[in-house]
Structure 1
Amino acid sequence: MSSETVGSEKRSRVRVPRGDRRRAEIAAVAEQVFLKHGFTETTMRLVAVEAGASTETVYRHFGSKDDLFIEVVGNRTLELRQRIDTDLESTGPLPTVLKAVGTNLYESMVMPEMSALARIIVAEVSRNPALGEAFYAMCPGRTLHKLTEYLKDAQARSTFIGDDPELAANMFIGLIIGNIVPVRLFIPHRDDVGTERMQGHVDEAVRIFLAVYHAKA
């Protein structure tokens, strides 16, 4: 193997700083602790024990239990947010983009970990409104904003004919997850909203939306 090849291989390896790697490991353990014990019963000491770290180390990476939980939610939703960003940056036809966004939203809501974290937030939000605000800004609010901006651009291209892009974005999101959210929050053992029904659900939501808002060719 040539020295040039060896050098290329070394450059292709992305080294994660040890501190960042340990932070990610603790957050991954913390997710399981939160899912098992809920927010109130989870302590930084318990997370430290499960992660094989000192309590001081956990506090050094995360200043509070709130910060740790928000990071857990951020990690869990990161892939979804990235996929939706990619969907809404597409220059493809409106029906194709909406189908991709709808599929990603549906898939996220039927993920057991996602709905379990949402139930924790619902249970805690009356005592700790900041958790709800952080989650909304990170996920539902962000998705609404991104979709609204996309529809504004589509409006400028005359492919979206609604007068209120934000209202239309709200309506589309509601069509996708309106029934899934209460089912996953309150009766998660039901299996009739699984991925096997996803395609038909998303297709129908897109069809209804386009019937009102899509410019006819």
Structure 2
Amino acid sequence: MTSAVSIKAMTPRGRERAERILAAATAVFLEQGYGAATMGEIGRRAGGSMQTLYRLFGSKEGLFQAIMAQKGATVYGQMEDPAIYEKPPEQALFELGIRLNELILNPETLATHRIVMLEGPHHPELQRIFHDSGPGRTRQVLARYFAAECQRGRLRLANVDAAAGQFLDMVKGAYFLPAILGRLDASTEIDIPGSVRQAVDIFLYGALTR
């Protein structure tokens, strides 16, 4: 099974071939869903031999894993910018929240989430691959930041992993579900900075008057 890391180690020609296959697979998964997608259709769109397709990725699951690894490095990797986690909580969480909303409201990211939500119960491994490559790694990075801030005395959290999950759910809550359901359109008023600022304020300070 090939990953994004091993693709980088290929020759330029091999890398171009692998990237072409991944692009074709991404298009087929988004158009047809994971369950209905076939290696034959992916191979047809990518061109080249089916033997090469199977040699590089092994199976449809291997292709999906490679795509998720690639997205994890290029898309979710934006959530791991060390410069963010060197800042105090109020500033770090605000910048993180802005990036998260820009990420999850991207049409291709939304389509990927829909695939996993709809077909995950029938393909549990699909859920694990998606979680570990994207949302799960973001939660782990944030939990480590919370742990460091607790050691510095700037935060007091009983469970940093649970707190990371709770913050991420809060900060994406305003728009993610309507977007997944297709209820965001040109008439919808979207204020990502305002929504993120409120989520950060409630998470850090609560909603009671101070």
User: TM above 0.5, one fold?
Assistant: yes
The answer to whether the 8 A contact 1:110-1:194 is kept is no
* Per-residue Cα deviation, 1:160-211 (whole angstroms, up to 9, x for no partner): 12222222212211111234333233x2252379894211111111111221
Aligned counterpart, 1:76: 71
Aligned counterpart, 2:53: 58
CA distance in 2, matches of 1:194, 1:148: 33
CA distance in 2, matches of 1:182, 1:39: 21
Normalising by structure 2, report the TM-score. Answer: 0.84
CA distance in 2, matches of 1:98, 1:85: 12
1:96 to 91, 95, 115: 91
Tell me the C-alpha RMSD between the 2 structures: 2.3
* Per-residue Cα deviation, 1:34-59 (whole angstroms, up to 9, x for no partner): 11111122111111111112221211
Matched, 1:166 2:173: no
Aligned counterpart, 2:200: 206
The answer to whether the 8 A contact 2:116-2:127 is kept is yes
Quote how far apart the aligned CAs of 1:131 are. Answer: 0.6
Aligned length: 197
Q: Secondary structure at the match of 1:29?
A: helix
Aligned counterpart, 1:176: 171
Quote how far apart the aligned CAs of 1:25 are. Answer: 1.6
Aligned counterpart, 1:48: 43
Q: Secondary structure at the match of 2:35?
A: helix
The answer to whether the 8 A contact 1:80-1:104 is kept is no
Quote how far apart the aligned CAs of 1:137 are. Answer: 1.5
Quote how far apart the aligned CAs of 1:149 are. Answer: 0.9
Q: Secondary structure at the match of 2:171?
A: helix
CA distance in 1, matches of 2:190, 2:118: 29
CA distance in 2, matches of 1:150, 1:102: 14
The answer to whether the 8 A contact 2:146-2:164 is kept is yes
The answer to whether the 8 A contact 1:103-1:202 is kept is yes
> Do the aligned partners of residues 165 and 72 (structure 1) sit closer, same or farther apart at CA in structure 2, a change above 3 Å counting?
same
Matched, 1:32 2:18: no
Aligned counterpart, 2:6: none
Bigger drift between 161-170 and 81-90 goes to 81-90
Normalising by structure 1, report the TM-score. Answer: 0.82
Matched, 1:142 2:137: yes
* Per-residue Cα deviation, 1:138-159 (whole angstroms, up to 9, x for no partner): 2222111111111000001111
* Per-residue Cα deviation, 1:56-100 (whole angstroms, up to 9, x for no partner): 121111110011112223323433332211157632222121112
CA distance in 2, matches of 1:16, 1:100: 37
Q: Which amino acid aligns with 1:92?
A: K
The answer to whether the 8 A contact 1:162-1:168 is kept is yes
Identical aligned residues as a percent: 29
Structure 2 stretches of 5 or more lacking a match?
1-9
CA distance in 2, matches of 1:29, 1:57: 14
Q: Which amino acid aligns with 2:200?
A: V
